[in-house]
Amino acid sequence: MTLAEIDRGSDFKVKRIPDDIIRIQTLRMGISEGSKLNCNEKIPGGPIIVKHNYQEIAIGRNLAKDIEIELFTEGSD
């Protein structure tokens, strides 16, 4: 599934970030393919806010549609 389809509050793992520049930028912010994140907020029709420890990042909806993720529940992996 893509990041755009996630529900608020869900935990997920980043599977693939196809865009080279975006991948580099998120890498610097601390998020890479394989990172485990939480969807902190989902603004209707707007950006997805993801949280990683204390780091919050707003990701535009269109960009979120390109990011592949997979859900996981705490404890499993």
Q: What is the distance between the alpha carbons of residues 50 and 35, in angstroms, rounded to a whole number?
A: 11
Interface characters, 27-66, with another protein (x: CB under 8 A): xxxx-x-------xx-xxxxx-x--xxxxxxxxxxxx---
Residue 20, interface with another protein (CB under 8 A)? yes
Minimum distance from residue 27 beta carbon to another protein (Å): 5
Which member of 2, 10, 22, 71 binds another protein (CB under 8 A)? Answer: 22
- Asked whether the beta carbons of 56 and 47 are under 8 A apart, the reply is no
Give the C-alpha distances (Å, rounded to integers) separating 56 from 50, 61, 73, 76, 77: 6, 16, 20, 23, 23
Contacts with another protein, residue ranges (CB under 8 A)? 20-30, 32, 40-41, 43-47, 49, 52-63
